[in-house]
Amino acid sequence: MFNETPAAGPGHGEMLDILARARPNRLKQHAETLLTALGEINVIANRTGLVMVPMRDTVKNVDFHLGEVLVSEAHIADAAGHVGYGMVTGRDLERAMAMAVIDLSVAARGQDDITANFLEQERAHLAAVDEERMRQVEATRVEMETF
């Protein structure tokens, strides 16, 4: 289970959001380029498991469990104790590990230019995918006066 320590600074959540939905092949390729600089890595966990997803009922504000989502998790640390963590939906353990490696690299060495570029490219890609879809969705907006 996750601990309750304070969040790791501004931008961390957004970076993790991007990494979890980044294109798998590009994610893995970028993680490979960071590995040698990280030295010895201790793998604390690399496994599949379940995350229970609750939802809030809109009628009485009661939280209830919708069901469980299969996820892959990777939890790693370097010799200095910096932590890298990845969790993605699905059963791709390499993808979770790649996310953890990039997270560890940023935690240990800060965000290098190549990682910053990678994150920006993936952010733009994800935003473009969403925009494309939501423009299609917007085309189905209906005015009920004339419907």
Partner 1 sequence: MAYVATRGGEKAIEQAERLFRQDLGTIDAQRVETIRATMPYLIDRVMGEASLYDEELAALALAQTGGELSEAVLVLRAWRTTQPRLAIARPVKQDEVLTQRRISAAFKDIPGGQILGPTLDYSHRVLATDVLEGKPFAPPAVDKAASSAPAKQPSLADWQRQQGLVAPANPSAVSPEDIPDLTREPLLFPASRAHRLQSLARAETGGVLALGYAAMRGYGNAHPTVNELRLGEANVVVRHPRGTEFSAGRVRVSQAEVTSKEKGGYLELGFAATFGWNEVKVIAAATLDLNSDDAPVGSPVHEEFYLYHTESVEASGFCIHFKLPHYVTFQSILDAMRDAKVKRAAAEAAGEVYLGEPEEEPVL
Contact residues for partner 1 (CB under 8 A)? 1-8, 12-13, 16-17, 20-21, 47-71, 73, 75, 83, 85, 87-91, 103, 130-145
In terms of CB distance, is 83 or 112 closer to partner 1?
Answer: 83
Own/partner pairs for 109-114, CB < 8 Å, 24+ apart? 109/37, 111/15, 114/30, 114/33
Rounded to an integer, what is the distance from CA 106 to the centroid of its chain?
14
Whole-angstrom distance, CA of residue 93 vs CA of residue 48: 7
**Least distance to partner 1, CB of residue 41, Å:** 15
Identify which of 84, 82, 69 has the alpha carbon closest to the alpha carbon of residue 19. 84
Cα separation of 40 and 107, whole Å?
15
**Smaller CB distance to partner 1: residue 36 or 65?**
65
Write down the least CB distance from residue 128 to partner 1, Å: 11
Question: Which residue's CB is nearer to partner 1, number 38 or number 100?
Answer: 100
CB of 123 to partner 1, least distance (A): 13
Nearer to partner 1, 116 or 128 (CB): 128
